[in-house]
Amino acid sequence: MARRPLPRILSTGSAQIARGRDLARTAADSATDVLHPLITMSRGLRRLAAAGRRKWADTPKDRRGPLLFLVASVVLVVALVPYGPLLAVITLMSAAAWHGRDRTPPAPAGPDEAQTKRLESLYEALVPYFSVPEDPAPLYAHGGEWEKAFPSYEFDDSGRVCHLSIHYPAYFTDGEPDARARIEQLLHAKSGRGREYRFEWDEEGNLLTVTVLPPLPTDVAAQRFVTAPGEIVLGLTDPAGVPRTLPLTFGEERRDVPPVVWRTGTRSTEPHLLVVGDPGSGTTTLLRSVVLQALQHGDVLIVEGGGTGEFACLGGRDGVLAVECGPAGALAGLEWAANETERRLIAANRARQAGHAPPEDTRRPLWIVLDRPTVLGHLSAAEGRVDPQSLLQVPLRHGRAAGVTVVVAEQFDALDSLSDAVRDHTRARVVLGPASTDRLEAVLGSPPRTTPAPDVPPGRGYARLGSGPVHRLQVPATPDPYDEATSETHRQAVLSLLPPHTAPTDAAPAAEPVPDPGDGAASGMASGGPVAAPVAVTAEG
C-alpha cells in the first residue's frame, strides 16, 4: 500500500518535535529525582492531616473539650522544653516521611511456580526443533536452562503467555516457510488456543517474538470516513500494520483507529478487488460498505447473482445506474460497461492527441460491483447465453486508465469457477470468515503473519493489497436496512448514508405501458453512451 507524503510542516518539524519531547521528558525525570524527598514528605503530611481529621470526626462531642485541653498542654510543654520545637519538627518530618513512602508492592523478580512450569514446557517442546547432535554447546537441550533461550516474557491475568522472545540457533532454517510453520503451530498449541498470535522473525538476530493480539473492535457501524476521493476503507486493523489512523464513532465515543485503505483510480496499483468467504462471513456487507463510499464521488452498477435482494435499498438512488438480479439484465449491464470503458478510452485518447484535458464524463469514476457472478454464469449457460464474466475482460484490463473499478465477491466453493481475467486482474484481495492457512495463502498469495482464529465474528478476516503485507481486517457493520433482523442502530446508520432517490426527469403518461424488466431497463446502457439517469431495479424469475 503506497504511502502519501506527509505535509511539509510535519516532515520538516518532526525531528524538532521529537527532540523537544526528549528534552521535556529528561527535565521531568530530573525534577522528579531532585524533588522526591519533598514529594514524599508532602504526601505524608497530607496523610497525617487526613488521619487527624478522621480522629476528630470519630471523637464524641462531649470528649472534644478534654482532647483540646490535652493537645494544648502538650504544645505548651514542648514549647517550654529546651530544643523542644526543633525536636517536634524533626519528629513530625520523620513521621511524614514514614507515612509518605511508596507503599506499592514491588513487582515479582521472576515468574511464579505456575509461570515457570509454562516456560519450561515451551522450552522442552522446542528442543527437538532447535537442537542437533553435532552442536557442542546446544542452547536447547532436555533439562537445560530456559532463561538463556527466553530473554523476555510477559503473562496476562489468566497466567498464559502474552509476549515471548525466543533465541534460536543460527543453524535453524528460518528462511524456509515449512520450518517456520512448524514452530508457529507448536507455539500456538502450547501457549493456548483460542487467541491470535503474531510471529515476527528476526533472521539477522536469530530472534523470534511472539505477541498475543487483542481482538479487533466489532462495534463499528457504517459511517462517513475521513478519506480522499478514490480511497475506500475496507475495515479496521492493528495499529502496527498501517501508518495512519481515522477518527471513528463508537456510539457516543470517538476514537482514532487504524484502517485498511484501498486506493483506486488511475494511479492505483491495485485497481480491482476480489472478496472471498463462506456464507455468512460478511462478503455482501463489505460490498455494501464499498458501494456506499463509492457513491460519494462516482456511479455504481450492481450485479447481484444470489438473487436475495441484498442491494434493494440502493435501487433508484442517485449514482446507482442499475441493480441487476437476472442473467439478461446482467449481460446487458456488463455489455454496456464494456462499451463505456472503450468509449472513455477513445475519448481520453482523442483529447490527449488534441492537447486538451479528458472530457468531464470520462473522469467520473464508474464502479462495477458483482456479488456471486458464478451463479449468473450457471443460469446463463442453462439458457444458452454467454457467461457474464466474459464481458469483464475489457473493464478489468483497461479499467484503471478509463476510471472503471471492478469489485467481485464470491464464495470458496465457487472460486474455481471464476474466470482467468477476474483472478489475474484483481490484485487487491480480501478473505472473510474462518479459513485455514492454506486457503488464505491460495487467495492472498502469502500466508498471514498471525494465526487464524477458529471462531470469528461476521466481517472478520484478512486483506492484502497487491504485494503488500497481509493485514487483519474487521469490516464495519453495514447490514441490509430492509432486513428485519437488523438492529435499529445499524439500520439508521445505513439509511443515513444512502443517497436520495432520483427525481424523474419527465412524468410518464398514465396509459403508457410498463417496459419489460431486464430488457428495457438495460437498453439505454447497451447503446454505448453514458447513462443520464439511474435504471430501476430489475429481476427475472
- In order, the DSSP letters of 460-487 are EEEEEETTS-EEEEE--B---TT-TTS-
Cell of 166: 525466543
pLDDT at 408 over 90: yes
Give strand pairing partners of 445. Answer: none
* 177 appears as a binding residue in the annotation: no
pLDDT at site 164: 93
pLDDT at 489 over 80: yes
Cell of 541: 424469475
Class (C level, CATH) for 231-540: alpha beta
pLDDT at site 89: 83
* 499 appears as a binding residue in the annotation: no
Q: Do β-strands 207-213 and 196-202 pair in parallel, antiparallel, or remain unpaired?
A: antiparallel
Class (C level, CATH) for 113-213: alpha beta
Q: Do β-strands 366-371 and 299-304 pair in parallel, antiparallel, or remain unpaired?
A: parallel
pLDDT at site 531: 42
* Strand ranges for 185-338 from DSSP E: 196-202, 207-213, 231-236, 246-250, 253-257, 259-263, 273-277, 299-304, 320-324
Burial class (CB in 10 A: 0-12, 13-18, 19+), 456: buried
Spatial distance between the Cα atoms of 265 and 405, rounded to a whole number of angstroms: 8
**H or E element in which residue 163 lies:** strand 161-167
pLDDT at site 527: 37
pLDDT at 87 over 80: yes
Spatial distance between the Cα atoms of 474 and 215, rounded to a whole number of angstroms: 10
Region of poorest pLDDT, from 196-210, 405-419, 494-508: 494-508
pLDDT at 515 over 50: no
Cell of 74: 502538650
pLDDT at site 59: 85
* 281 appears as a binding residue in the annotation: yes
Spatial distance between the Cα atoms of 36 and 39, rounded to a whole number of angstroms: 5
* 283 appears as a binding residue in the annotation: yes
The residue assigned the cell 485503505 is 261
Break the chain into its structural domains and give their ranges.
113-213, 231-540
Mean of all residue pLDDT scores within the chain: 84
At 244, is the pLDDT very low, low, confident or very high (cuts 50, 70, 90)?
confident
pLDDT at site 29: 67
Cell of 139: 542452547
Q: What is the pLDDT of residues 53-68, one digit of tens each?
A: 888 888 888 888 888 8
Q: What is the pLDDT of residues 416-459, one digit of tens each?
A: 999 999 999 999 999 999 888 889 999 999 888 888 877 788 99
Cell of 422: 477476474
pLDDT at site 514: 38
The residue assigned the cell 531532585 is 34
At 170, is the pLDDT very low, low, confident or very high (cuts 50, 70, 90)?
very high
* 438 appears as a binding residue in the annotation: no
Region of poorest pLDDT, from 81-95, 294-308, 358-372, 490-504: 81-95
Region for 467 from its dihedrals, namely left if φ exceeds 0, alpha if ψ lies in -120 to 50, beta otherwise = alpha
* 282 appears as a binding residue in the annotation: yes
Q: What is the pLDDT of residues 1-44, one digit of tens each?
A: 444 554 544 444 555 666 667 777 777 667 666 667 788 888 88
pLDDT at site 90: 85
